[in-house]
Structure 1
């Protein structure tokens, strides 16, 4: 395994293939083995007791740790620049474990003005059951943030880029205010991946991924990851991860390890294709607006250019017309599947207002900028000309 100073000398692309795994500790297997076991044996009762007490390193039970999962966690921690990582059974398992782990009843969370629908649903449930309040903010200035921070605010939770409006949040500004107030910053980095953006390097505390998306990259696994400082995530591991139990299986961890090996290559192609599609959409008369971090005409482009390597593979755009016009465009597509999720090799399209964000009340959706005419496109790895040809023929049916 590449470790310590040696690992620091290597580029990101090399780390995606080598970090977190040492073949000579696994019978010299080049690829990390799948440790498909629920439990582990002890040499003596005393050894088992010592491991349960945390006095001795070693595996006990796969809900509490597994060698395949450990390899994934070490690799993700290295790629994000964090001390440790925790792997979960889904992105939402990661989100819920982290939020529940760092808050208590009657706390308050300040959120970016736009969140994944299920994250919104989780916040609503926590508010109803445990009086954990939340406030949406555009987080555009120190003054605006301070006006929304309360005495009981313990967490700033953001997506950047925001799903699905693609607005980019200024991480330097967020961290500046948060540190002054002693508030933890949690960033959903799913859309960017650590290849395009590393929030921990800006001073954020915890990064979360729906690893189902670009990390896995092939649409064949569900998983989540949280990366951050050892003290915070050790506490999450000992409490909400262990006791709620949303842990990843060894096989799913292995699939994510396999996907990570091509992450840099895939993100380059996703971004290049997205840039080409944006250029075509901008000149089409049936397109009302386009939202993409890598477009220099976007309001948040300057922020994106400071903290992102490229614009990524997700593009949102509004149809010039009605909700039914948006429906008609989607239904006329021939190559591009209609499906939620993103980050797959296949280009995917979905309608946020009626799909991923349908749980959010319409009034709140409108305030977030999620209109009924908005479509979200996850640009895949196909030839961009074929992707555009399909979109163009669908638009021209209006």
Structure 2
């Protein structure tokens, strides 16, 4: 009789594991430490030299490899593995979920053990992964995009029609869990509460024009300060925070005034705005690979191409300002639109190397992202221990790397070749040793 792999049995507690012979990057320090790491019941229970081996434990000899925390991604759309038009308006309802399950498996095998998903109906996928039914990263889901009429989250593809927001008909984008169109303070409060009701760990606001939007130009500023403030207040009432899709400087300034805790994209932020972001301890969650590979490789078509090129033209200056000012930089990739684009997620490491050191990039992808995730407060679903670090009491989300990524960050751009071991919650999902 066939049996399931142990990682798919939710009631099956992982056996103790002792990793020896590794040089450890703890997620923070610029120095590697030679240490043994003991994992028990999914957590790191000990770290040091000469650790006792528990009865029944598996001993893994790292043979000098580098042990690092599992990678994290602060900007994913794990449910979006095809075009929004297909996922929302034409494909069978279950199509998005089946594609996302495979995307989650591949993402974990690239070494990403935790993600902040900033838009899309990922609650069912999260539950299945947490239950051990399928393999994938931990997910901090935002669920619904919160968008104004004609905003970035207004996906209705027909350009000439009587808007459903006036006729009262329900948009499939709402029915399928993708977006809530809300205009005015009372509506945005209700929309925020609806997203939180479904289990959002943080709220995702569409606050400016977009590259791929059906209706909005890139230079549009979306939502008023009053509307943004109302959404942020609702998030705060639930002990969490709001993040915002924002390209224009006006939308970023409004977001700062409203109290958002993270800016997504933000490439047109002025120096003044970035200084305010630093003063208010706001994370900058922008992407580097997306605007270096060109429109075709980024999957842009039709009217999205000139908007992409406009954003690309401002990207370098935005990156340089953020580096100069010293913003807290999240590691987020925003890879979406096709499951075949998934490997680009790993190439983000090399794209950042033009601006940051390997240490800085590793910190962004581990402990800094974990600091951002912690802003969800009591809505954070993974609080048994810290994420993004290697230390006693932390989640046993660990990677063994062939080589030293503190010297060569490009190792992480080739996970199939260079990740010898992938562990999440004390369970091994890949082991080539």
Shared fold (TM-score greater than 0.5)? no
TM-score by length of 2: 0.27
Q: Which has the higher strand share?
A: 2
Q: Which has the higher helix share?
A: 1
TM-score (norm 1): 0.29
